Amino acid sequence: MTLSDNFRIEKDTLGTIKVPKNAYYGAQTQRAIENFQISGKRMPRSIIRAQGIVKAAAATTNMDLELLPHSIGDAIIQASKEVINGKWDDQFVVDIYQAGAGTSQNMNTNEVVANRATELLDPSLDLGRIHPNDHVNMNQSTNDTFHASMQIAAMENLVHKLLPALRILYKELDKKATEFMPIVKAGRTHLHDAVPMRLGQEFAGYAETIQSLIQQLEHSSDKLYEIGLGGTAIGTKANTHPDYPLKVITEVCNQTSLPFRQPNNIFEFMQNTGAPIRVMTTLKELSVHLIKITSDLRLLASGPRTGLAEITLPSVQPGSTIMPGKVNPAILEMTHMVCCQVIGFEAAVSTAGTASQLEINVMMPMIAYTLIESIDIMYNAVSTLTTKCIIGIQGNEKICKQRMESSLALVTALSPIMGYDRASQIGKEADDKDITIKEVLKQKNLLTPEIEKAMEPKGLI
């Protein structure tokens, strides 16, 4: 290796290449930089962290198996921990749209860890003394390590971020359900009048929907715990110590405090990206239901003078550059946008899943980025929705009562007493005259105590 101005010259199997003098990455990363100037986006922090976890676990295992000298192994572990903690994030420079399977991303990690470990071992040594392939990548292939890193990152983000955020959202919706249970209002189907209900019942439906999706996400994400470290290139465990797979996964468990395990079938793991696809399918369903809930809340809060106005949302920012004092449901709109994006991301991951051929799916870099991005933006959206909107919602009991008393659907109570056809005529007359059902009954001298009792809204709930 020689130095030239602001660059150093490095050599790989394709020849020599200039690398920035102070970069910790090396020749293969530099080639990826030059080859893949596509989006300007890099792998998420959580993927880089997971790659650091894999490299530290591998070094620990290789030392335990007496395959790696402790001096080199300890330096690799220290360098990997720095990667885990984000110290060298600026050295991870490969575009997310890169060579298939994540080879460039894995080599970016191998080179950064190798050169930093060399520096830690002895600052006077030339970079490269600790080899990115022979030492840092020992007992590994991109095909098992990047795949595993994707699933480690996803599980950490689900367990520590999205699932707790969803549980808090459920809790706050459930609180609102209890708070709003005394408020009786008109139900609606097809956006038209329906029989009375409680505002709390509406919110209880929202809460249970989120609870159901939490359970579904817990179930669908369980397969992410299966990581095929030690499978190397295609699952045959070529060039791997027989004790390595179980030991390295145990070490990953120690570092993450999560119950990762060996796959039931290593070849199934190597061939497919089924676990991310399942999670993305659940995130898509979550998005669909969140769109329903946030759309409902926008309708219920519409107005405040010309809409339903049955609930009031907390004001978070001015809503118009031309209409003074206007306040829009900004948090609900943001959540809807995020959900639309996640639905699109699910389509991308499912489509990429069709690229699995023979022993590998080469679309893993895009799948990894999209999966983590989906979890991250959904976590941020759900947290913001809860704290800046749901907690501050208030029920408007007065307006709910007015809407309910004027609802044409109260005629439903008359059907068992006077029959469907006659009740329908009364409802139509009320609509034509723009008066209430009770007023029509009074005009016809039909408002008996029995009918008045039957039309009590609480009796219809």
Active site residues: 190, 320
Q: Helical H runs in 1-87?
A: 27-35, 45-64, 70-84
Bridge partners, 357 (sequence order): 360
Contact call for residues 429 and 350 (beta carbons, < 8 A)? no
Q: Which two tokens stand for residue 387?
A: 């704290």
Radius of gyration of the chain (CA): 30
Cα–Cα distance for residue pair 163/170, rounded to 1 Å: 11
Strands, DSSP E only, in 209-324?
Answer: 311-312
Tokens linked to 225: 């715990």
Beta bridge partners of 187: 194
Whether 358 and 271 have beta carbons less than 8 Å apart is answered as yes
Torsion angles phi and psi, residue 3, rounded to 5? -105, 140
Phi, psi dihedral angles at 140 (to 5 degrees): -135, 160
The answer to whether the CB of 120 falls within 8 A of the CB of 186 is: no
User: Distances in Å between the alpha carbon of 334 and those of 110, 157, 328, 387?
Assistant: 39, 21, 11, 14
Residue of 26, 44, 36 whose CA lies nearest to 372: 44
CB-based burial of residue 160 (10 Å sphere; 0-12 exposed, 13-18 middle, 19+ buried)? Answer: middle
> Max Cα separation, the chain?
104
Alpha helices in 354-436 (DSSP H): 364-388, 397-405, 415-418, 420-433
